[in-house]
Structure 1
Amino acid sequence: MRKRNKKYLTLQCRSSLLAILLLLLTGACDFFRFKSETEAGADLVIATVGNQNLLRSELSFIKAESKSEEDSANIASRYVQSWIRKQLLIKEAGKSMAFDEAEINRKLLDYKYALMVYEFEKKYVEENLNNNISQQEIEDYYQVNKVNFSLKEIIVRVNFVKTEKESSQNKQLERMLRSQNQKDSDTFKALAANSGANYFLEDSTWIKLDDIIVNTPLANHPNKVELVRNNKLIITDDDRYRYYFKILEYKLQDQVPPLEFVRDEITKILINKRRIELVDQLQKEVYNRALEKNEFKIYE
């Protein structure tokens, strides 16, 4: 590979930044391959701020993240600009404030050790966590804590269908929606699925009222509480469509939601509790093992 002369990009020549990066990124395989021992001392400087240099090798990650040569150049350009800004802030901070180097180093070490511990605990949890939550666990947690799941919005079980306003099926759909006969209910669902422009027919699924009425004339209804309280069947139109809502059941704000509505949330809570328990278990195991082996001392 032809040896390139070193080039220094200072703040005064930002206009040529992208052109230089494109040149550097041409022939990505050569540009991004790891340096051999003989090349280690000849790393090209991409940018400089004061006495701080950004080296070509520090951009080697770009090859894996980019999809094309142009993409590589854009990523490199953003990275260089970000690096320059950070270095300028560091330089300005050094001029404007007096820093306790020992305190900064202590904080860096604290962060380093905290990150090491976090990664160690994360690996332990990933290897030992059981994500299977039983129905009984969910029900038990719900019974003890359901008061904590107070609703913040109206939820409903509903049959919903949206049809063309002039559809020949509308009269039949309305008749079946008013019927209490299970056979009519099944026929309605089949008809809605075949002729509806949009529909929601999951009888057992609780859904937020705002989610089901979005993009319908009911979206801006001034009193949604009265709407669901006083109407089992709601029919409304806009210029083109007719909307049918059969309210099967509802729950209002501040009421306790049914278990099915909070099942996923409870599952996440229980899994997170297991994570915390595993971390606590790991810490105790490490401590007790070290205690048995006399690996630490406490001085009075």
Structure 2
Amino acid sequence: MKKEEYTILSLTNKFYLPIIVSLLISSCDFFKFKSENEDLEENPIVASVGNQMLRKSDIAFLVTSNSSKEDSTNLTNRYVQSWIKKQLMILEAGKNMTFDEAELNRKLLDYKYALMVYEFEKSYVTSNSETEISIAEIAEYYENNKESFSLKEIIVRTNFFKLEKSSPQNRPLRRLLSTDNDKSESSIRQIALDHATNYYMEDSTWVRFEDVIINTPLSNNNNKVELLRNNKLITVDDEVYSYYFQILDYKLQDQIPPLDFVKEEIYKILTNKKRVALIEQLQKDIYNRALENNEFKIYD
């Protein structure tokens, strides 16, 4: 009886085994096909060049909560076009040149390591910058390096006013600006607040003269140096407006600028000097520590 059962079971297994295997293979193909479809639905291809594909997930970072739908669409379109052009250039380069894969990989590694070192140094500088640059440091650097800050443009301290030509306040404003009287400042400011289309009153601030006269008839004047030398009050008109430039002080090209004008530039210079000094010290410390611990060898 046992022998018969074994024979029947054996025959049954032999009969059904191919069918079971076939079903398993089919089901594997089915599930694989389904998975690919799901992947395409969730992460569709946005563009392709040859075998390279740009998927929706690759451009997800372009869309932010602050972006409007139109901005996001325009940004995405620009990115896709840029990606396509880059991939086409890569294909064209591959067709027209023979590249040394080993050399390319070496350059990629060099770039990767350079990025790693850069990020490490940046983090170290951020963590170890003890103090801000002081005004005293800035002033000292300025005194020792004045000649290196020779001006390449005209700068001024000025008050500027723009009034409609028809305004009855033009005459009193002109009179007040021509008067050397500190008490007139409040009256001038009141006229500016109440009647000026535009004005600028920053007595102690140095600015580029070109920035002040832009969009005024004075911007077309070809003899600005003589104009500044001979006038404390410059007035010009166009068809609609009158413009007033009260020149408090000025510096011409090739002259040494005042400290206030180059303060920000000096701050950046000194900040960079401190950064470089910190990195150089870091490199020296790491080298000396490795030397003491026999962490490297130099072979003849």
Question: CA 1:283/1:200 → structure 2, altered by over 3 Å: closer, same or farther?
Answer: same
State how far apart, in whole Å, the 1-side matches of 2:74 and 2:161 are: 47
2:59 matched residue in structure 1: 62
1:143 matched residue in structure 2: 143
Shift of 1:99: 1.8
2:269 matched residue in structure 1: 269
Number of residues of Structure 1 aligned to a counterpart in Structure 2: 264
User: Letter of the aligned partner of 1:235 in structure 2?
Assistant: T
Query: Are 1:138 and 1:267, in contact at CA under 8 Å, matched by a contact in 2?
Result: yes
2:26 matched residue in structure 1: none
User: Letter of the aligned partner of 1:238 in structure 2?
Assistant: D
State how far apart, in whole Å, the 1-side matches of 2:35 and 2:79 are: 22
Shift of 1:45: 5.8
Query: Are 1:151 and 1:252, in contact at CA under 8 Å, matched by a contact in 2?
Result: yes
User: Letter of the aligned partner of 2:62 in structure 1?
Assistant: E
| TM-score for the superposition, normalised by structure 2 | 0.79
State how far apart, in whole Å, the 2-side matches of 1:217 and 1:142 are: 36
2:156 matched residue in structure 1: 156
Shift of 1:62: 3.0
Give aligned-pair identity as a percent.
59
Question: CA 1:111/1:176 → structure 2, altered by over 3 Å: closer, same or farther?
Answer: same
State how far apart, in whole Å, the 2-side matches of 1:232 and 1:72 are: 52
User: Letter of the aligned partner of 2:195 in structure 1?
Assistant: S
Question: CA 1:261/1:269 → structure 2, altered by over 3 Å: closer, same or farther?
Answer: same
User: Letter of the aligned partner of 2:57 in structure 1?
Assistant: S
2:235 matched residue in structure 1: 235
Please tell me whether Structure 1 or Structure 2 has the larger radius of gyration of its CA atoms: 2
1:116-195 counterparts in 2 under 5 A? 116-130=116-130, 132-195=132-195
State how far apart, in whole Å, the 1-side matches of 2:36 and 2:145 are: 69
RMSD between aligned alpha carbons? 2.7
Q: Give the number of the structure whose residues are more often helix, by fraction.
A: 2
| TM-score for the superposition, normalised by structure 1 | 0.79
State how far apart, in whole Å, the 2-side matches of 1:61 and 1:47 are: 11
1:87 matched residue in structure 2: 87
User: SS of 1:132's equivalent?
Assistant: coil
Query: Are 1:164 and 1:241, in contact at CA under 8 Å, matched by a contact in 2?
Result: yes
Unmatched segments (≥5 aa) in structure 2 = 1-32
Query: Are 1:150 and 1:254, in contact at CA under 8 Å, matched by a contact in 2?
Result: yes
State how far apart, in whole Å, the 2-side matches of 1:45 and 1:167 are: 64
Residues 93-128 of structure 1 show CA distances to partners (whole Å, capped at 9, x for unaligned) of 223222222211111111111111111111112222
2:249 matched residue in structure 1: 249
Unmatched segments (≥5 aa) in structure 1 = 8-22, 25-30, 33-43
Shift of 1:82: 3.9
